Amino acid sequence: MKTSETPASLIMIFGATGDLAKRKLFPSLYNLYQKGKLSENFAVIGTARREWSHETFQSHVYDSIKSAGGENEGIDQFASHFYYQAHDVTDSDSYLGLKKLADQLDKKYELEGNRIFYLSMAPEFFGTIASHLKTDGLTDTKGYKRLIIEKPFGHNYPSAKELNDQLRHSFSEEEIYRIDHYLGKAMVQNIQVIRFANALFEPLWNNRYISNIQITSSEVLGVEERGGYYEKSGALRDMVQNHMIQMAALLAMEPPINLSTEEVRSEKGRALKSLRPVEGDEVEKNFVRGQYGKGTIDGKELPGYREEANVDPASNTETFVAGKLLFDNFRWAGVPFYIRTGKRMSSKDTKIVVQFKDIPMNLYYKAKNELAPNLLVIHIQPDEGITLHLNAKRIGQEMETTPVKLNFSNKGLHGMNTPEAYEKLMYDCMKGDATNFTHWDEVSLSWKFIDNISAVWETKKADDYPNYASGTMGPKASDELLEKDGFFWWPVTSLDVKDY
């Protein structure tokens, strides 16, 4: 039974035979179905060039859910809502076939003309598809029309603007849902709640009490089979322009006046407006780039980036970035936000460490105690939770201090895995909630910031690549970036919240 919480929708997936659809989109839709968040009033049209029948597509969907660990329950019933239409997105004539099928399913499943177009394809096709959707009448229905756009949204500011202008001919800003899957992660969404729902933190969330913030997203995987894409992207465009800057914006933004999409995104945008541009000679002082060489992880010998498939043996592409962001506003003046991300590092971890300033004097110095700084650690993945590092009295006669930790684990609270980011984001889109999608203003500001850095890196070849071994936390210069400010990277490698 459809309700406002389970809206009727036709979801048209472009690139339905691809990797993202198989690994993320189908299992996420299935989870929503299992949880009762999809009514029976839904249908999916998958489209790509290969000539598949509806049945082949349904069995592909079935397999994808099984490989994602889905139970048998209801998969057949769920998959029966899936339809397939072979279609080359560059072929103008074949959009009419898609429209015909969409109109039929609209009637059959009582979809009220609600349509979500999910572009899970190479970005060069985004503009063409969006134009055809309008000119060939696929958006000409009485229900809602929403366009989900996968990353990358452009390669730099000019190409992102060109793409956006093209999309805007067919869809309004409110109808465009730009995916940043980090915004669908439970603990990234928790940043706002931790900040704005706790009397404990918000009064301290500024340059009077915080000395620095560190955001790390490290990966063990290398470039895998995506060498062709990654060579043109690098870590700066692949991870920093979107995920890292989005997390920084959530940490830096002012409290919105309410939680509406408009207010939240406008505060994030305002934070990004205060991000100090890093240009020219400042790039080398504030940003570090790295490229992985050979190394060993879990006893396995791994090749360097330049030995990977579809990678230039003399490649100048960075697989690691560390940088210092400064927000020039009253709240954050003088507080560095350090970011670091890279492939083939020693662990897969995304963590935010908020380091508070030391208290004005240490009463316990006579006991030769060095007080540890208070830290708030937000564990984004693989573990999800928060740790607060405090100082307390060591048990015994002496007045000695010892560091203690207060832990909260998301897993412990809910006793189950939190929903996959794509699941949350697809559900938000069905309900028309674009809060956790990026507004064009945010995308354009972050590209302008990134373009200044890539302009320097692309003209000046790195002469020390490869400069970190696979299985390490990046080049030495990344540590030096913090050392020169009197800080160091807090360790982020952990298996469980309890251990850190």
Ligand X SMILES: NC(=O)C1=CN([C@@H]2O[C@H](COP(=O)(O)OP(=O)(O)OC[C@H]3O[C@@H](n4cnc5c(N)ncnc54)[C@H](OP(=O)(O)O)[C@@H]3O)[C@@H](O)[C@H]2O)C=CC1
Q: What is the 3-state secondary structure (H, E, C) of the chain?
A: CCCCCCCCEEEEEECCCCHHHHHHHHHHHHHHHHCCCCCCCEEEEEEECCCCCHHHHHHHHHHHHHHCCCCCCCHHHHHCCEEEEECCCCCHHHHHHHHHHHHHHHHHCCCCCCEEEEECCCHHHHHHHHHHHHHCCCCCCCCCEEEEECCCCCCCHHHHHHHHHHHHCCCCHHHEEECCHHHHCHHHHHHHHHHHCCCCCHHHCCCCCEEEEEEEEECCCCCCCCHHHHHHHHHHHHHHHHHHHHHHHHHHCCCCCCCCHHHHHHHHHHHHHCECCCCCHHHHHHEEEECEEEEEECCEEECCHHHCCCCCCCCCCCCEEEEEECECCCCCCCCCEEEEEECCCCCCEEEEEEEECCCCCCCCHHHCCCCCCCEEEEEEECCCEEEEEEEEECCCCCCCEEEEEEEEEHHHHHCCCCCCHHHHHHHHHHHCCCCCCECHHHHHHHHHHHHHHHHHHHHCCCCCCCCEEECCCCCHHHHHHHHCCCCCCCCCCCCCHHHC
Q: Which two tokens stand for residue 407?
A: 């832990």
Output 341 or 391, the one with its CB closest to ligand LXAUTJHC.
341
Output 151 or 431, the one with its CB closest to ligand X.
151
Residues 109-148, interacting with ligand X (CB under 6 A) = 120-123
Query: Which one is catalytic: 243, 379, 389, 439?
Result: 243
Distance of closest approach, residue 91 Cβ to ligand X, in angstroms: 8
The Cα 133–Cα 370 span in angstroms is 64
Q: Which of 49, 54, 331, 357 binds ligand X (CB under 6 A)?
A: 49
Using CB under 6 A as the binding criterion, the count of chain residues that bind ligand LXAUTJHC stands at 6
Site map 60..99 versus ligand X, x via CB under 6 A = ---------------------------xxxx---------
Output 42 or 177, the one with its CB closest to ligand LXAUTJHC.
177
The Cα 177–Cα 86 span in angstroms is 25
Q: Which of 106, 219, 308, 428 binds ligand LXAUTJHC (CB under 6 A)?
A: 219
Residues 146-205, interacting with ligand LXAUTJHC (CB under 6 A) = 151
Distance of closest approach, residue 233 Cβ to ligand LXAUTJHC, in angstroms: 8
Q: Which of 106, 150, 238, 428 binds ligand LXAUTJHC (CB under 6 A)?
A: 238
Distance of closest approach, residue 474 Cβ to ligand LXAUTJHC, in angstroms: 16
Known binding site: residues?
15-22, 49, 88-89, 151, 181, 185, 219, 238, 343, 348
243 labelled catalytic: yes
DSSP state of 275: B
Output 170 or 233, the one with its CB closest to ligand LXAUTJHC.
233
Residue written as token pair 């949350």 = 424
Choose the contact partner of 219 out of ligand LXAUTJHC, ligand X, none; CB within 5 to 8 A by kind: ligand LXAUTJHC
Output 88 or 307, the one with its CB closest to ligand X.
88
Residue 442 sits in the site that holds ligand LXAUTJHC (CB under 6 A):
no
Stretch that binds ligand X, among 42-50, 243-251, 388-396, 453-461 (CB under 6 A): 42-50
Q: Which of 20, 339, 421, 425 binds ligand X (CB under 6 A)?
A: 20
Distance of closest approach, residue 106 Cβ to ligand X, in angstroms: 22
Known binding site for NADP(+): residues?
15-22, 49, 88-89, 151
Choose the contact partner of 495 out of ligand LXAUTJHC, ligand X, none; CB within 5 to 8 A by kind: none
Known binding site for substrate: residues?
181, 185, 219, 238, 343, 348
Output 175 or 219, the one with its CB closest to ligand LXAUTJHC.
219
> Which sequence positions are flagged as catalytic?
243
Chain positions contacting ligand X, by CB under 6 A: 15-21, 48-50, 87-90, 120-123, 150-151
Chain positions contacting ligand LXAUTJHC, by CB under 6 A: 151, 217, 219, 238-239, 350
